[in-house]
């Protein structure tokens, strides 16, 4: 990479394009891995490590550094060291999003002006706050690779088909979409369920809806995550589809299950309202995470959702959620009908 590239950055590319370049031997000195799709991000890190670092000397030439624990100076100092009896070393830096100290900012700028050509330095984050200086420096100086969640309609089902085919099995598009509807688009969860299904159907077996229904139990974690996300996106069809999957094979009695789902929706709305207020105060993500009682990774996700909603929508939504809670506890209509009505009303406001 020449000096001009280092100064202006290399733009943004997908993980697929990145993997193609790595396999062709094109490895740069500075990368920013950004996005909340952890499975793809970790896969890219493994591929880059295998391509950049001699496996026999990896213990000496590979390190993961946390700025919160180790400090940025130590990470940059290690990056400047020559690799041990090898062509390259690789340093992965995490927990750097809240850097604001002028001395550390200048140290980062100094390194970016002349990065070590024998080190692959990778900054990994779920998301950056574009108002912070460190974000501007990283975006300008690094080759940025995005790891966004795959969409439920085509992206995640296509990934499921590829995963199964690479394992020697088979699954049609409809069954892949059905599995995504049941589990969600979190690739870590999907990979675990697929491994279970592949083991069940055997070598070169075909995964059908029958196997999925038999082996994949709908996860409460998925319902807590996926229905609120669909509501925020205004995707009424998706939210109702997920609700249908839950009630088709409910892990709890309908009344209990409805209150759990309502609690998840309510929790999301309350956290988004708090996040919106704290973001107006320019609170950094690290402090916001403490205030909300969440991890920095989860806070990034909440912030993205909060920006899509108006404060008035959130307040009105919480009022409507409270009304549904009272209706559920007083046995007005069926629990499922109450939730369906709520989902339709909340999605209509987005």
Total residues belonging to the chain: 350
Sheet architecture: strand order including 119-125: 12-14, 143-146, 30-34, 119-125, 89-94, 62-66
Could you tell me the pTM of the whole model?
0.61
Place of tokens 């493994």: 46
**pLDDT tens digits, residue range 214-223?**
787 655 455 5
- Tokens representing 239? 């939210």
340 band by pLDDT with thresholds 50, 70 and 90: very high
Three-class SS state of 63: strand
Q: Rounded mean pLDDT of 175-191?
A: 85
29, pLDDT greater than 90:
yes
Q: Rounded mean pLDDT of 91-96?
A: 91
CA distance 95 to 68: 6
Q: What's the pLDDT score for residue 28?
A: 92
Q: Choose between 234 and 348: higher pLDDT.
A: 234
CA distance 321 to 267: 10
CA distance 185 to 189: 8
Q: Is residue 338 within 8 Å of 327, Cβ to Cβ?
A: yes
**Element (DSSP H or E) covering residue 124:** strand 119-125
**pLDDT tens digits, residue range 111-168?**
999 999 999 999 998 888 888 899 999 999 999 999 988 887 788 999 999 999 988 8
First-to-final CA distance of the chain:
44
Q: Rounded mean pLDDT of 20-28?
A: 89
What domains can be seen in the chain, in order of their start residue?
A: 3-146 (3.40.50.300), 155-215 (1.10.8.60), 220-348 (1.20.272.10)
Which range has the worst mean pLDDT, 56-60, 177-181, 253-257? 253-257
CA distance 329 to 58: 59
**What Cα–Cα distance (Å) separates residue 169 from each residue in 27, 78, 172, 192, 200?**
33, 44, 11, 15, 11
CA distance 287 to 41: 25
How many C-beta atoms lie closer than 10 Å to residue 70's C-beta? 17
Q: Choose between 46 and 202: higher pLDDT.
A: 46
């Amino acid at each position: 990479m020449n000096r001009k590239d280092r100064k202006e950055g290399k733009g943004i590319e997908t993980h697929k394009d990145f993997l193609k370049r790595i396999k062709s031997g094109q490895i740069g000195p500075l990368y920013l891995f950004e996005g909340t799709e952890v499975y793809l991000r970790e896969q890219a890190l493994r591929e880059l490590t295998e391509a950049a670092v001699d496996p026999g000397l990896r213990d000496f030439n590979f390190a993961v550094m946390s700025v919160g624990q180790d400090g940025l100076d130590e990470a940059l100092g290690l990056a400047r060291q020559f690799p041990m009896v090898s062509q390259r070393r690789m340093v992965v830096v995490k927990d750097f999003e809240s850097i604001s100290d002028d001395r550390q900012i200048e140290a980062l700028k100094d390194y970016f002006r002349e990065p070590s050509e024998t080190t692959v330095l990778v900054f990994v984050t779920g998301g950056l706050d574009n108002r912070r200086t460190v974000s501007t420096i990283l975006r300008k100086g690094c080759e940025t690779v995005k790891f966004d969640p795959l969409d439920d309609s085509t992206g995640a089902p296509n990934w499921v088909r590829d995963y199964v085919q690479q394992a020697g099995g088979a699954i049609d598009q409809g069954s892949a979409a059905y599995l995504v509807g049941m589990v969600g688009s979190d690739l870590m969860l999907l990979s675990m369920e697929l491994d279970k299904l592949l083991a069940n159907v055997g070598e070169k077996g075909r995964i059908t809806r029958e196997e999925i229904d038999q082996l994949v139990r709908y996860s409460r974690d998925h319902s807590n995550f996926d229905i609120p996300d669909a509501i925020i996106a205004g995707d009424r069809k998706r939210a109702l589809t997920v609700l249908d999957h839950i009630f088709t094979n409910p892990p709890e009695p309908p009344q209990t299950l409805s209150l759990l789902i309502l609690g998840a929706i309510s929790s999301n709305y309350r956290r988004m309202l708090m996040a919106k207020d704290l973001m107006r105060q320019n609170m950094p993500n690290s402090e916001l995470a403490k205030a909300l009682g969440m991890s920095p990774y989860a806070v990034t996700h909440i912030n993205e959702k909060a920006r899509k909603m108006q404060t008035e929508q959130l307040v009105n939504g919480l009022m409507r959620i409270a009304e549904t809670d009272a209706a559920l506890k007083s046995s007005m209509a069926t629990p499922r009908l109450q939730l369906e009505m709520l989902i339709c009303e909340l999605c209509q406001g987005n």
